[in-house]
């Protein structure tokens, strides 16, 4: 159908192809028989769904729902809407045109076949282009996987890099790789003699793929884990984050004991104030492995406790909650509580955090405080009260929060009051008779 | 008087002129020397110093020889030949140790006749023991080879060999005894394999400079590797080498958990290595030095673990075997590795936590393995360098 745009006669194909209607995200790829009946059979609804992230030309959008129109109808005012939407509008008793606000002199709805045709064509083209691209991606990833089986050295590294890029951007690539033994093959590249470049790329690929329990067991072999720890310790920030993510997946499914080198590496990540993403990723891993019994002693032996405590004021809220969780777990073992108590800035840091962020943070902080104070009641209580704990505790008790928190607070309050001279205590929290 | 003055002035002027010429030449020379010194100092800065440390017989010199074979021109015929006397000496030393050891064991186990040599071999044994005790060893003749083999095959000697860990039997014993015929041939020239097995106690310091050539053949890295003697009396010489070291390659022979020191038969070798490692870690000059721990002699470890439990060594007394065969070997290795890791972190303060520390499983006699291992070490050091330069 010829269209007139600025004096130029365009046919439908050209109009859609050159993006005259606007709308990006398409390819220059055009199927030859765009207007054949076959494509009409492609369910428009399905295509729209699959192309949901694409930028749709504004003229295709229904002004009422802001969604692409599948059955456009025009009112007497000349405005076009999706049939079901305008019918609903009219059934609600309105007798106006929603966009122009004009009163309707005619209630007929004329199907806008021109627009319908255009919409179908446009979506079909975009859909076919997407399908082809996806096939390209699938084909290419399969190709890369085959190539990987034969090459070595720098070529291997480059191939892995390209595969990694595909896997991180395309769902279809991920599927293809997973379905063609990609997981076990890439895992087999990890070993005691794997170079850093190969290791970091392989890990970056694996972290994007679905791992079944066999793959996980395979990856949990000590030599492979050792390699991951090495890559973690030597890699760039992105590589470090990939490593901890992968290890998180692996360790969640097993009760492997994390090595000291691993913990040192994770701690280093967590302490790096320049990169909050790294901190968060590291803390997530710490939380996952905090269920491990021996973790506590390991972290303490590498001096991790004071380092974590020192970082408390620098964490954002999500990281803070994770860190406090880990510290809470540590506080429940005797060595842990001791190590915590020995951190001079633990109590002031914790008191400051109470009621500042989430309820969980306050809950964990209170648990830690309780354990530490139980260990050395007089000393810790004094420090705590000096840091303004009592007032905070009252705040918790009086607030409308979880009964668990209130329980913790009153326990702590009791402990403090038993170990502090009453006068100091009262003056520190400006109490009134409500205490009694 | 004026005359003299004028005359002298003239002379003076002349001397000045000649003096000027001389000084320019001198200046040029001095400048050239300055430039050379500057160049060399700059070049020196780029040379990475690697130090091989470890207790006696931990494999340092073998690694040293391997690097020589891999990255330098290897051993030329003359050098290979120079090892003949060493290898022959090893043979005599070994058989003497075994013979004398058999006698000792026979005495201590008076009841059994396990360690009693057969009558024919007694005379041979005494003869060989006498030869082995000399300062100068005779050439290995066909006759001597026959004698040695007869003795080696004597059941008493084999029984003694089975208890080799209580004596100071060198690890190369097996290898040389098996190749004895070849070693004694007229025109015997030691092979690379023979040279790698040859055992000489290193004394003093040896160094080589090399450049590991990468795939693309361009590598600006220049390494200087230092090998030292590992016995106790040699260690006081170590301290002179401790400055400006890029990386320490610490060799620990994990197969010797049931052996005692050459210089102190009451000290378990692994315990000695443990203490030595701790001592090295604490050295102030190594604050920024990377540590590569080579857990060496894995091939011997593999075979030994099945026969001798790890807990004979005090440090490993809490070891619990979980399975058998290859799995058990892996499990045992991971246990030992963990012990060393714990030891490292116990001796590390917060300032050291940035230091590179990696553990490698090695078998120094295996050239391919050493090459692969060194490739990794090289990669780590290069990345470390970039990291320190702020480029990573």
Token pair for residue B1? Answer: 């008087």
Q: Test B373 with A195 for CB contact under 8 angstroms.
A: no
pLDDT tens digit string along B319-348? 888 888 888 898 899 999 999 999 998 888
Question: How many angstroms separate the CA atoms of B235 and B232, rounded?
Answer: 5
Q: Closest Cα to residue B228, out of B201, B252, B268?
A: B201
Q: What is the pLDDT, as a whole number, of residue A236?
A: 87
Question: How many angstroms separate the CA atoms of A347 and A329, rounded?
Answer: 17
Give the residues across from A68 on adjacent strands.
A61
In a 13 Å sphere around the CA of A377, the CA atoms on its Cβ side amount to: 12
Question: How many angstroms separate the CA atoms of A347 and A369, rounded?
Answer: 7
Question: How many angstroms separate the CA atoms of B231 and A173, rounded?
Answer: 58
Q: Test A268 with B338 for CB contact under 8 angstroms.
A: no
- pLDDT tops 50 at residue A190: yes
Q: Which residues in chain B are closer than 8 Å to A303, comparing Cβ atoms?
A: 350, 353
> What count of other Cβ atoms lies within 10 Å of the Cβ of residue A222?
16
Q: Which residues in chain A are closer than 8 Å to B334, comparing Cβ atoms?
A: 222
pLDDT band at B10 (very low <50, low <70, confident <90, very high): very low
Alpha carbon B235 to chain centroid distance?
A: 13
pLDDT tens digit string along B346-369? 888 776 777 889 999 999 888 899
Backbone CA torsion sign across B132, B133, B136, B138? negative
- Confirm if B55 and B276 have CB atoms less than 8 A apart: yes
- The alpha carbon of residue B323 is apart from the nearest alpha carbon of chain A, in Å, by 16
pLDDT band at A14 (very low <50, low <70, confident <90, very high): low
Please, what's the b/e burial string for B44-62 (b: 16 or more CB within 10 A of its CB; e: otherwise)? Answer: eeeebbbbbbbbbbbbbbb
Q: What is the pLDDT, as a whole number, of residue A142?
A: 86
Burial (Cβ within 10 Å: 0-12, 13-18, ≥19) of residue A374:
middle
Burial (Cβ within 10 Å: 0-12, 13-18, ≥19) of residue B334:
middle
Collapsing DSSP states into helix, strand and coil, what is residue A411? helix
Q: Which of A302, A306, A309, A343 to mutate to test the interface with B (most CBs of B within 10 A)?
A: A302
Higher pLDDT, A394 or B57: B57
Name the residue among A195, A234, A264 with its Cβ closest to that of B353: A264
Collapsing DSSP states into helix, strand and coil, what is residue A80? strand
Does ipTM exceed 0.85?
no
- Confirm if B87 and B193 have CB atoms less than 8 A apart: no
- pLDDT tops 90 at residue B142: no
pLDDT band at B243 (very low <50, low <70, confident <90, very high): confident
Residue B388 catalytic?
no
Q: Closest Cα to residue A361, out of A323, A311, A306?
A: A323
Higher pLDDT, B247 or B124: B247
Q: Closest Cα to residue A181, out of A212, A217, A160, A152?
A: A212
User: DSSP alpha helices (H): ranges in chain B?
Assistant: 2-46, 60-71, 77-82, 84-108, 119-132, 142-153, 155-162, 173-178, 180-183, 192-197, 269-282, 298-307, 325-346, 367-388
- Confirm if A203 and A248 have CB atoms less than 8 A apart: no
pLDDT tens digit string along B257-303? 988 888 888 888 999 999 999 998 888 888 888 999 999 999 999 99
pLDDT tens digit string along B74-96? 788 888 888 888 888 888 888 88
pTM of structure: 0.75
Query: Which of A19-28, A353-362, B51-60 shows the lowest mean pLDDT across its residues?
Result: A19-28
The vertex-B137 CA angle with B134 and B141, nearest 5°, equals: 135
Question: How many angstroms separate the CA atoms of B308 and A224, rounded?
Answer: 28
Q: Closest Cα to residue B70, out of B294, B378, B293, B360?
A: B378
Q: What is the pLDDT, as a whole number, of residue B19?
A: 52
Q: In percent, how much of chain B has pLDDT > 70?
A: 89
pLDDT band at A202 (very low <50, low <70, confident <90, very high): very high
């Amino acid at each position: 159908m010829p269209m007139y745009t600025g004096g130029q006669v365009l046919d439908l194909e050209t109009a859609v192809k050159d993006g005259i209607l606007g709308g990006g995200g398409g390819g220059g790829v055009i199927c030859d028989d765009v207007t054949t009946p076959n494509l009409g059979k492609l369910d428009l609804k399905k295509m729209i769904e699959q192309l949901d992230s694409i930028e749709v030309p504004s003229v295709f959008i229904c002004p009422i729902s802001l969604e692409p129109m599948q059955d456009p109808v025009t009112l007497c005012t000349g405005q076009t809407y999706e049939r079901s939407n305008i019918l609903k509008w009219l059934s609600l008793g309105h007798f106006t045109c929603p966009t122009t606000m004009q009163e309707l002199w005619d209630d007929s709805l004329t199907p806008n076949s021109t627009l319908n045709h255009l919409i179908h064509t446009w979506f079909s083209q975009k859909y076919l282009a997407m399908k082809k691209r996806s096939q390209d991606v699938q084909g290419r990833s399969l190709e890369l996987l085959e190539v990987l089986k034969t090459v070595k050295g720098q070529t291997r590294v480059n191939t892995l890099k390209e595969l990694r890029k595909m896997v991180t951007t395309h769902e279809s690539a991920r599927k293809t790789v997973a379905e063609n033994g990609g997981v076990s093959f890439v895992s087999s590249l990890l070993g005691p003699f794997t170079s850093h470049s190969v290791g970091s790329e392989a890990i970056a690929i694996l972290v994007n793929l679905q791992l079944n329990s066999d793959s996980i067991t395979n990856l949990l072999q000590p030599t492979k884990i050792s390699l991951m720890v090495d890559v973690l310790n030597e890699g760039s920030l992105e590589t470090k984050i990939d490593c901890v993510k992968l290890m998180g997946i692996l360790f969640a499914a097993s009760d492997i004991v994390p090595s000291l080198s691993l913990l040192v590496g994770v701690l280093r990540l967590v302490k790096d104030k320049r990169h909050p993403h790294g901190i968060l990723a590291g803390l997530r891993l710490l939380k996952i492995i905090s269920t491990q019994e021996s973790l506590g002693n390991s972290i303490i032996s590498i001096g991790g406790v004071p380092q974590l405590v020192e970082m408390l004021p620098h964490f954002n809220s999500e990281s803070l909650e994770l860190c406090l969780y880990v510290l809470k777990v540590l506080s429940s073992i005797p060595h842990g509580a001791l190590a915590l108590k020995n951190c001079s800035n633990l109590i002031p840091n914790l008191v400051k955090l109470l009621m500042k962020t989430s309820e969980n943070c306050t809950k964990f902080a209170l648990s830690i405080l309780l354990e530490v104070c139980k260990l050395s009641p007089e000393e810790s209580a004094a420090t705590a009260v000096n840091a303004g704990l009592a007032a905070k505790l009252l705040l918790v008790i009086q607030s409308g929060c979880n009964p668990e928190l209130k329980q913790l607070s009153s326990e702590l309050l009791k402990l403090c009051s038993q170990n502090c001279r009453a006068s100091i205590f009262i003056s520190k929290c400006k109490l009134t008779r409500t205490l009694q | 008087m004026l005359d003299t003055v004028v005359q002298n002035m003239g002379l003076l002027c002349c001397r000045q002129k000649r003096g000027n010429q001389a000084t320019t030449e001198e200046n040029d020379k001095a400048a050239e020397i300055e430039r050379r010194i500057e160049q060399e100092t700059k070049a020196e800065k780029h040379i990475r110093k690697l130090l091989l440390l470890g207790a006696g017989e931990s494999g340092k010199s073998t690694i040293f020889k391997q690097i020589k074979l891999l990255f330098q021109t290897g051993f030329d015929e003359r050098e290979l030949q120079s090892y003949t006397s060493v290898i022959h000496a090893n043979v005599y030393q070994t058989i003497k140790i075994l013979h004398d050891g058999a006698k000792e064991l026979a005495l201590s186990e008076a009841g059994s006749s396990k360690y009693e040599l057969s009558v024919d071999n007694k005379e041979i044994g005494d003869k060989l023991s006498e030869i082995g005790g000399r300062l100068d060893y005779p050439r290995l003749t066909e006759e001597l080879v026959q004698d040695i083999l007869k003795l080696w095959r004597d059941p008493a000697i084999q029984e003694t060999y089975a208890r080799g860990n209580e004596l100071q039997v060198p690890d190369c014993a097996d290898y040389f005894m098996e190749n004895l015929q070849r070693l004694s041939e007229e025109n015997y020239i030691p092979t690379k394999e023979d040279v790698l097995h040859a055992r000489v106690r290193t004394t003093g310091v040896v160094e080589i400079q090399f450049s590991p050539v990468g795939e693309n053949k361009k590598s600006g890295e220049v390494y200087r590797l230092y090998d030292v003697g590992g016995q106790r009396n040699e260690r006081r010489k170590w301290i002179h080498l401790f400055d400006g070291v890029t990386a320490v390659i610490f060799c620990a022979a994990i197969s010797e958990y049931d052996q005692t020191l050459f210089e102190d038969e009451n000290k378990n070798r692994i315990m000695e290595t443990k203490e030595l490692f701790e001592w090295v870690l604490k050295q102030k000059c190594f604050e920024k030095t990377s540590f590569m721990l080579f857990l060496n002699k894995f091939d011997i470890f593999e075979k030994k673990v099945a026969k001798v439990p790890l807990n004979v060594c005090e440090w490993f007394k809490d070891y619990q075997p979980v399975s058998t065969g290859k799995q058990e070997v892996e499990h045992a290795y991971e246990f030992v590795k963990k012990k060393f890791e714990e030891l490292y972190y116990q001796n590390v303060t917060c300032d050291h936590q940035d230091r590179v520390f990696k553990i490698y499983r090695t078998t120094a006699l295996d050239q391919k393995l050493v090459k692969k291992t060194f490739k990794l070490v090289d990669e780590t050091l290069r990345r470390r360098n970039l990291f320190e330069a702020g480029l990573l």
